[in-house]
Structure 1
């Protein structure tokens, strides 16, 4: 391995015998970063400095002071993500059973250690560690998604509540034609917001049941979902009002596969589309363009020719709860949740806006997800109406 490349995972080896520590470091150091410790207390000190990078701990059982059993139990409590392997030269059945039960051990290795066996067990441990990390990232993304979904439902439902109270207060009064028109518009807005909620819930539920619960941690066997497919599905199901659908065009410069929980990405897309349509309300000749770009990095861009965002608001949009739609039930958390969902799988949001001249929000996807460009007969390049 070259000096400029760092091994992807680190191993902590704990043994009071210096020769054993040196031998382990030489034998394994070519494949992993190796940290060594001569006892339990030193091992915890090493974890305090490097715990975030250590994937596996291999510890001897018999050591002066605190033994391996005590160390394993402490690590299981304080660093549960680390895979734990016990090394012992003793065939004490009761001791081994107690240690396995309290320390949640991945494997037990017998002394003297054989390099080929150690490498094989470490590979298995790293695979398990990676699987756990992937699962944890998905759980975090799902937590963010659920919070985001709660927000997305709260805003339109708050609008429905406001209009419902207004209608309720006016019951029994004599209405002139202007008032009747206002009530009709309120009822229409209530219906549109309710339809948005139902569409969002239905889309999310269907996506989770079709793909989310069936995908393994490695993604094997998962159905590939392209960015253009997510956009097409959104445009087919979104509850557009009046001529809103006619404002939208899709420009595909290069398609790519969305590996990062497509159901979460669909929710972000839905929220950003809703924001853009709301910004265009009242704009002369409103235009909204959805751009799909695969190179140099996979991106989806939502570009509108609305009024733009004031610089002082734009600078805080992804950090602070700011909204210009408080009267409609908004509380400014949508962009924060969208960004958190994108960040949960290594992506991000970028906001470019010129006050008075429109806004572009870019969904940037992590490069390691890979790209799949569409062939000419699948998705035509250039500007097109979706």
Structure 2
């Protein structure tokens, strides 16, 4: 399977009339994955199984039992990321003012539904969903990156503090009084600065979470983020230069859910792709393949046909600040940062390279025994 052209979004349509459900599904099935339900309660059951992939809810207003208005309010509370559309007959309009005014509805579609109008509104709804998701992912990326940096900085800063205190205590036994004072002052300054940084990190992190950062992370933790979604988002937003996008092929051999720090994983993926594109700059026929593999272990592989990496450089690439792009401003810390992010949640980063043939960087993810997306794919085919 190569580049996926179908958007990774689904639409849920709710109507108690079977003919309406069939008509709607046939009208948009070529463009979107479609789920249907015949009541509000059944719609909630569908959302319980597929809520992570559903971008738009379209529901009829008048249904036996709970009406569409009641369903919209529940979805607004439990699945706020889903864009909500209400279908109604002209006679219902006066009854819908409160629903519209409270912001629970993105658009209203009038019965009978016209295919072109439905497609037009769905395009707008998907754009709204993508905008919300992008904004939320950026906030979460900041949150996760701050968490990672705080963890990474706390350990060396604590070590600096202990070292400075040791120097301050031991200096009296080694040097004359003048030199003792200079070294003691330097040690105290080192200690004070390290303690200031530790306090600043702690205070800032507490402020972020007090303002709702932790809640947003926990809420997002319940939403499935697929490896293919991360790649699709990266390819949509990456600032390609010239024909770089044409160099890239996506090969999906099996999708999987990225369950740990997906936004930090996206940063790693972006950094690795950037490295590969830079390496391909002088290649006659540049080619870059992003492979998604589910079995035997979940992996994303970034494979290029660039100049490759010298063995002595490759051996140090993930531990020491070495770079093959010093002339272009590289400092060698990017691969170390990427490796630490992957290791922080039990993953791994591997590099295989042959000079003159190319490089493959493999992002390995822990296999936690969770069900993969095969079930979802089978449901959509059914």
What's the TM-score, normalizing by structure 1? 0.51
Give 1 or 2: higher helix fraction.
Answer: 2
2:13 corresponding residue in structure 1 = 13
Deviation of 1:9 (Å): 2.1
Deviation of 1:155 (Å): 2.4
Per-residue Cα deviation, 1:152-172 (whole angstroms, up to 9, x for no partner): 33123212211222133246x
Q: Is the 8 A contact 1:352 1:361 kept in 2?
A: yes
Q: Is the 8 A contact 1:349 1:362 kept in 2?
A: no
Per-residue Cα deviation, 1:139-185 (whole angstroms, up to 9, x for no partner): 222111111221233123212211222133246x34259xx89x969
- Structure 2: which 5+ residue stretches go unaligned? 201-232, 242-246, 248-262, 281-287, 290-301, 320-336, 353-358, 365-382
Q: Are 2:353 and 1:350 aligned?
A: no
Aligned counterparts of 2:14 and 2:173: Cα–Cα separation in 1: 84
Per-residue Cα deviation, 1:68-116 (whole angstroms, up to 9, x for no partner): 0110011111111111100111455553222124462111111121111
Structure ranking higher on relative contact order (CA contacts 8 Å, 6+ apart):
1
2:156 corresponding residue in structure 1 = 156
Q: Is the 8 A contact 2:86 2:108 kept in 1?
A: yes
Q: Is the 8 A contact 1:298 1:364 kept in 2?
A: no
Aligned counterparts of 2:169 and 2:183: Cα–Cα separation in 1: 15
Aligned counterparts of 1:349 and 1:75: Cα–Cα separation in 2: 38
Aligned counterparts of 1:119 and 1:141: Cα–Cα separation in 2: 32
Aligned counterparts of 1:10 and 1:361: Cα–Cα separation in 2: 33
Q: Is the 8 A contact 1:56 1:125 kept in 2?
A: yes
User: Structure 2 vs 1, CA of residues 141 and 363 (structure 1 numbering), >3 Å: closer, same or farther?
Assistant: farther
2:27 corresponding residue in structure 1 = 27
User: Structure 2 vs 1, CA of residues 113 and 305 (structure 1 numbering), >3 Å: closer, same or farther?
Assistant: closer
1:168 corresponding residue in structure 2 = 168
1:301-312 maps to which residues of 2 (within 5 A)?
303-304=314-315
User: Structure 2 vs 1, CA of residues 341 and 141 (structure 1 numbering), >3 Å: closer, same or farther?
Assistant: farther
Deviation of 1:126 (Å): 0.9
Aligned counterparts of 2:149 and 2:62: Cα–Cα separation in 1: 52
Q: Is the 8 A contact 2:314 2:351 kept in 1?
A: no
- Residue 13 of structure 2 aligns to a residue in which SS? strand
User: Structure 2 vs 1, CA of residues 20 and 221 (structure 1 numbering), >3 Å: closer, same or farther?
Assistant: closer
1:77 corresponding residue in structure 2 = 77
1:236 corresponding residue in structure 2 = none
2:341 corresponding residue in structure 1 = 338
Q: Are 2:63 and 1:87 aligned?
A: no
Q: Is the 8 A contact 1:39 1:66 kept in 2?
A: yes
- Residue 116 of structure 1 aligns to a residue in which SS? helix
Q: Is the 8 A contact 1:84 1:106 kept in 2?
A: yes
2:293 corresponding residue in structure 1 = none
Q: Are 2:136 and 1:136 aligned?
A: yes
User: Structure 2 vs 1, CA of residues 341 and 22 (structure 1 numbering), >3 Å: closer, same or farther?
Assistant: farther
Aligned counterparts of 2:135 and 2:345: Cα–Cα separation in 1: 16
What's the TM-score, normalizing by structure 2? 0.51
Calculate the aligned-residue CA RMSD, in Å: 5.2
Q: Is the 8 A contact 2:11 2:57 kept in 1?
A: yes
Q: Is the 8 A contact 1:73 1:103 kept in 2?
A: no
| Larger-Rg structure | 1
1:54 corresponding residue in structure 2 = 54
- Structure 1: which 5+ residue stretches go unaligned? 202-216, 226-253, 255-259, 270-289, 309-333, 354-359, 366-386
1:207 corresponding residue in structure 2 = none
Per-residue Cα deviation, 1:273-309 (whole angstroms, up to 9, x for no partner): xxxxxxxxxxxxxxxxx99645443689874459x9x
Q: Are 2:111 and 1:111 aligned?
A: yes
Aligned counterparts of 1:194 and 1:130: Cα–Cα separation in 2: 43
Aligned counterparts of 2:361 and 2:122: Cα–Cα separation in 1: 40
Q: Are 2:95 and 1:120 aligned?
A: no
User: Structure 2 vs 1, CA of residues 221 and 33 (structure 1 numbering), >3 Å: closer, same or farther?
Assistant: closer
Aligned counterparts of 2:190 and 2:40: Cα–Cα separation in 1: 64
Aligned counterparts of 1:194 and 1:303: Cα–Cα separation in 2: 36
- Residue 63 of structure 1 aligns to a residue in which SS? coil
Per-residue Cα deviation, 1:171-212 (whole angstroms, up to 9, x for no partner): 6x34259xx89x969969x869979x99xx9xxxxxxxxxxx
Aligned counterparts of 1:264 and 1:19: Cα–Cα separation in 2: 46
2:244 corresponding residue in structure 1 = none
Q: Is the 8 A contact 1:141 1:341 kept in 2?
A: no
User: Structure 2 vs 1, CA of residues 51 and 342 (structure 1 numbering), >3 Å: closer, same or farther?
Assistant: same
Q: Is the 8 A contact 2:160 2:191 kept in 1?
A: no
